[in-house]
Structure 1
Amino acid sequence: MKHVLRSALCCVLLLLSAPALADSVIIGTVSSAETKKPIPDVVVTANSPNLQGEQVAVTDAQGNYRIPQLPPGVYTLRFYREMYRPFARADIKLPLDRTIRVNVELLPESFSEEIVVTGGSPPLLDFGAIGRGISDFFGGRRNSNPPPPPSTPPSTSASPAAPPTERTTSLPQQPFSDMYFKSYGVNPTIDTEEERFSTFSVDVDRASYALARGYLERGAMPDEQAVRVEEFVNSFDYGYRSDPESPFSVHVEGFPSPNRKGYHVVHIGLKAREVSRQQRKPTHLVFVIDVSGSMNIENRLGLVKQALRLLVNELDERDRVSIAVYGSTAHLVIGPTSAAEKHKLMEAIDEFYSDGSTNAQAGIELGYSIASEHVLKGGINRVILCSDGVANNGITDADGIWERVRAQAAKGITLTTIGFGMGNYNDVLMERLAQVGEGNYAYVDQLEEARRIFVQNLTGTLQVVAKDVKLQLEFDRKAVARYRLVGYENRMLTKEQFADDRVDAGEVGAGHSVTAIYEVKLREPTDTFAALRIRYKEPEGGDSRELEKQLPSSVLRPAYGRTAPPTRLSYVAAAFAEKLRGSYWIRTLSWEQLHALWEALDEPLRDRPDVKELGALIRKAQGLDRRTDRFEQLTPVVSMDFDRVPVIK
């Protein structure tokens, strides 16, 4: 398997390296747009379809850089420096045997008015070569909104002293270039006469919520395609109790919808069995750390190191840790080391630094090689990838990578991905790797998020208690006329796939909870309105098992205000996500009304730090949202009343 994969990869790389002539040069100077002074230590990367991988240079004390021995072609340059905005220049045409100068002025991180560019054309915030092969494989797209094409090409000259030209262009609506997402659409409302089964794979990730928070706290609305409703809903603790006699406990409650007349919101929660810290299995964790040039901005690598230190402090003598890093190449920093030797691990964490381009495949291959050679029998064997998801060198055979990751997961070596950074970030790749690797996907936008993953929820993060978990609701046509699953668009399954053990699904860690929100239109009172089925496998695999529970109509409360506060919280989280992604189904609910729903939560819950933060984010989004209401002609006025079903006038 390994020989075939490497042979295929070598063939691809040989094909990509066909252009042998590399006699052209790009030079330039990087200076501050505010002070006009040169900026040293700026990481400059050059990408082109004609170039194997990525060429990297760093500016000297005078702000000068030089990238020699380039094949002719069309290039994208990117400029990274802490305390300055990441910047990209695209469509730079480099002729054979020529030297061209591209000067740029960088804006400080806090600047938001305009970009001043010297040396030719205005900036095109194009995703360029970074991650394009992988992301196009999934049909994703970047969120940047480039200005019109330049009217004049970049200056070309054999002399470094070519006179620059100046242009000024407004910032695009999205301030973070090269953020790569994929849209899965929005679930429709379905008539039970057409299909009464709703089936999906569970998802306990929360990366989408952390990403949206990262946008909002930087003063920008998140890209609509970055919003996955289920990850917002599953970002909050609803206080479910676990059942020691069952692998899952089930919690169901409903209430009249605050924004869809005649519909009820149904909250369905599952809680996996708890495992104490003492009962947790021993672990071998292989960290694969991206140390490429793009990880040197926004203190990404610094945040990775802080997160690792938190984790090491939580592990004990049962656990072993290995650390590998990758830039242009991959290498081992420290082999399997007992977590009791914390000083050794802390020294290893301090050792690595940012350098080179981004050979993600080399890093993943090395991580799996270490994990395979040092399998901890009867324990948890996991590769943990920490990266911004950029993969511009090495991952050229997407099918080969998925086969490799899937095969290792089948052997019990799972893959967790943890994302870092705003701008130059590939959400599509990170989510997909975790899905195929039977692990989870998280995004760390702040140290507190790392603490939640590695300290507060360590056992659930590491120890899987059920794999390939699928949920299915069979609605009673006599009781339910129509329904809509809110979110889980990229986890949808057919009713036939529910019982098919060959179909992969989500994994659930110890003590983790899964929550789903439905909107249902009721017909007539009945004893039960649906049957809930849960299908899962034991962590070691084998045949799946099935649980079934009838959902009684008695769980449907007469009003929003009569519902348990955690149930109301789940609706606020879901509605917040729906608003951010511009869902048609939430068009009747204004930002002000959504915040009023948040305020209607009981005070003890509202004062919880994560819930208080949710209220603040709703207010931030309200102040930032400048989108034109695409459903303006269809939007009725909603009367908000928490003790009755809201009336649409």
Structure 2
Amino acid sequence: MERRNARAARRTGARFPAAVAALLAAGLAVTGCAASGDGSNADRGVREGGRTAPAVPDGGRTGTERPREGEQRSPVPAPDYLSTFALDVDTASYGYARRTLAEGRLPDPSTVRPEEFVNSFRPDYPRPADNGFSVTVDGARTGRDGWSLVRVGLATRGADRAAERPPAALTFVVDVSGSMGEPGRLDLVKESLVLLADQLRDDDSIALVTFSAEAETRLPMTRVGAARGRIREVVDALGTSSSTNVEAGVRTGYDVAVEGHRKGATNRVVLLSDALANTGATEARTILTRIEEERRAYGITLFGVGVGSEYGDAFMEQLADKGDGQTTYVGNSAQARKVFMDQLPAHVELRARDAKAQVAFDRRTVEKFRLVGYENREVADEDFRDDRVDGGEVGAGHTVTALYAVKTRPGATGPVATATVRWLDPATRAPHERSGAVATGALTGDVWGAGHDSLQLTAITAYFADALRGGDLPGDPGLAALADRAGAIADRSGSAVVRELADAVRQAHGLRGPDEGPREGPSKEGELRSGDPYS
């Protein structure tokens, strides 16, 4: 995260932090992920009324510049407003918020990341035939004075047969400190590890490191086929003791991962912890440099799995971000099964490296826009096609959704937005791009009308997360209405995960008290600022 924040600060005029809202959902085959607004837009020509020169949407390059050899590039759209971000498939924020609400507490607003609410669900976007992305752009009116929701949906091809994917070399770093003795922590981690071991192939490899006050290697990198019984014995013997030295665990874990590195395999460190560091280096900053070094030198990435009613969310998110990986959260056995039998195996099979998206809004039809979420994934517009600037890793069968609140100009017709995704092939690192677009004619329906369950679910999760953060996303119908609409979708679909969403929104409504009703914030001086909560 620090690296991305530094990139954002380098751009001219990055004076406004990106605005955030939320999306979420996890099982109606209607997922999404959010994007982050470009805080520099106000200084790079993105203002109303044509008072300044327009920005160039492809990161500052001109349409006449030739692509590098072997590079596939989408056509450069007309000059317009830009929003650029690295793709993200984290889900920890939503899982932790659900647990907090179930315990009768509102989550700390700082732990609510809307895009992670969205990534918890998987919309039924078309899937590509190759290793790249499909791009779907749709939307509908909110019924609030010209405001629409525009959704950018990206999807990868599903997982290959197990025999066809590259082998995996996974180093598990397990927190066995005293705080992990609480029910739902180490016991859940042990259950999860056994589940995963049963899913892996014989030619995959596993290592296991534990940490409390100090770190200990319990199992060096070992081929699974010859050691399934040994793996279970090591996991069963885990118990808690002493304090939490995350630094020692992460450092030792990466040492073991480097020593057991397998060329041609997916090499990953999986950290399972409540992330409540109290011994050694207790700030993520001091650990991040080592993660960065090993990621670049060996391609070792980090997958963070959080547990516990008290959880160091920001600490874990920073570690995974620096490790070019993802975070998730498990609070019960059902969630553990989903993560270790579905999510982690999918992460083992990569479809894209350093994936970024850039959404270009047409100034002729768009008056204002606001991106929901992704502050920590912000990328400078000019870095979109700089492949030295890292993006996000995306695995097989993943979906990523970016949701925007867009106010169109009265009476304007024509193109609204062009979304382009850029990624590197996992094997060859060759760059590729693919684009999709939406026009005003596609925004005539009502988001809450019949036949829009997928888009409605994305909207519900975005508004839900925004409310938990105390935001003011245009067209917000209030928590009570959101709960009713989520419940109606659950009734129609029979989806248990959407029912869980409806329950979480009702719990939040009960804790927050009466809604203030639909809201729409005023614009500030006519400027289009993604960092302004009303733009």
Moved more, 537-546 or 560-569: 537-546
How is 1:85-96 mapped onto 2 (pairs within 5 angstroms)? none
Q: Distance in 2 between matches of 1:501 and 1:635?
A: 37
Aligned match for 1:354, one of 240, 244, 265: 240
How is 1:560-575 mapped onto 2 (pairs within 5 angstroms)? 560=447, 561-575=449-463
Q: Is the 8 A contact 1:587 1:635 kept in 2?
A: no
Partner SS for 1:358: coil
The letter for the 2-side match of 1:402 is L
1:381 is aligned to 267
Aligned match for 1:475, one of 361, 364, 370: 361
Q: Distance in 2 between matches of 1:478 and 1:308?
A: 54
Q: Distance in 1 between matches of 2:428 and 2:388?
A: 11
CA distance 1:562–1:620, change in 2 (3 Å): same
1:591 is aligned to 479
Q: Distance in 2 between matches of 1:406 and 1:514?
A: 24
Deviations 1:89-115 (A, max 9, x none): xxxxxxxxxxxxxxxxxxxxxxxxxxx
Q: Distance in 2 between matches of 1:507 and 1:213?
A: 26
The letter for the 1-side match of 2:147 is Y
**What's the CA shift for 1:545?**
3.0
Partner SS for 1:347: helix
Aligned match for 2:502, one of 605, 612, 615: 615
Q: Distance in 2 between matches of 1:587 and 1:531?
A: 23
Say whether residues 1:372 and 2:258 are aligned partners. yes
Say whether residues 1:549 and 2:436 are aligned partners. yes
1:149 is aligned to none
2:223 is aligned to 338
2:180 is aligned to 295
Q: Distance in 2 between matches of 1:186 and 1:413?
A: 30
How is 1:51-66 mapped onto 2 (pairs within 5 angstroms)? none
Q: Is the 8 A contact 1:588 1:635 kept in 2?
A: no
Aligned match for 1:262, one of 146, 149, 155: 146
Say whether residues 1:244 and 2:98 are aligned partners. no
How many residues align? The count is: 453
Q: Distance in 2 between matches of 1:417 and 1:536?
A: 23
CA distance 1:398–1:306, change in 2 (3 Å): closer
> Could you say which structure has the higher strand fraction?
1
2:322 is aligned to 436
Aligned match for 1:193, one of 47, 57, 75: 47
Q: Distance in 2 between matches of 1:357 and 1:598?
A: 42
CA distance 1:320–1:202, change in 2 (3 Å): same
CA distance 1:184–1:227, change in 2 (3 Å): farther
**What's the CA shift for 1:240?**
1.8
Provide the identity percentage.
Answer: 37
Q: Distance in 2 between matches of 1:584 and 1:326?
A: 42
**What's the CA shift for 1:579?**
1.5
Say whether residues 1:221 and 2:221 are aligned partners. no
Cα RMSD after superposing both structures: 2.8
Q: Distance in 1 between matches of 2:263 and 2:251?
A: 21
The letter for the 2-side match of 1:359 is N
Aligned match for 1:415, one of 282, 297, 302: 302
Q: Which structure would you say has the larger RCO, counting Cα contacts within 8 Å and 6 or more residues apart?
A: 2
Q: Is the 8 A contact 1:333 1:352 kept in 2?
A: no
Q: Distance in 1 between matches of 2:474 and 2:101?
A: 20
Say whether residues 1:275 and 2:159 are aligned partners. yes
Q: Distance in 1 between matches of 2:133 and 2:290?
A: 31
The letter for the 1-side match of 2:224 is A
CA distance 1:204–1:562, change in 2 (3 Å): same
Say whether residues 1:317 and 2:202 are aligned partners. yes
1:150 is aligned to none
Structure index of larger Rg: 1
CA distance 1:602–1:184, change in 2 (3 Å): same
Deviations 1:57-95 (A, max 9, x none): xxxxxxxxxxxxxxxxxxxxxxxxxxxxxxxxxxxxxxx
**What's the CA shift for 1:518?**
0.7
Q: Distance in 2 between matches of 1:387 and 1:303?
A: 11
The letter for the 1-side match of 2:511 is L
CA distance 1:453–1:543, change in 2 (3 Å): same
Say whether residues 1:559 and 2:446 are aligned partners. yes
Q: Distance in 1 between matches of 2:237 and 2:288?
A: 31
The letter for the 1-side match of 2:290 is R
CA distance 1:333–1:488, change in 2 (3 Å): same
**What's the CA shift for 1:634?**
8.3
Partner SS for 1:457: helix
Moved runs in structure 1, 4+ residues, more than 4 A?
187-192, 396-400, 626-629, 631-636
**What's the CA shift for 1:435?**
1.0
**What's the CA shift for 1:574?**
0.9
CA distance 1:463–1:395, change in 2 (3 Å): farther
CA distance 1:407–1:540, change in 2 (3 Å): farther
Q: Is the 8 A contact 1:454 1:461 kept in 2?
A: no
Unaligned runs of 5+ in 2: 6-16, 22-36, 49-54, 56-80, 523-535
1:534 is aligned to 421
The letter for the 2-side match of 1:268 is V
Unaligned runs of 5+ in 1: 1-133, 139-182, 637-649
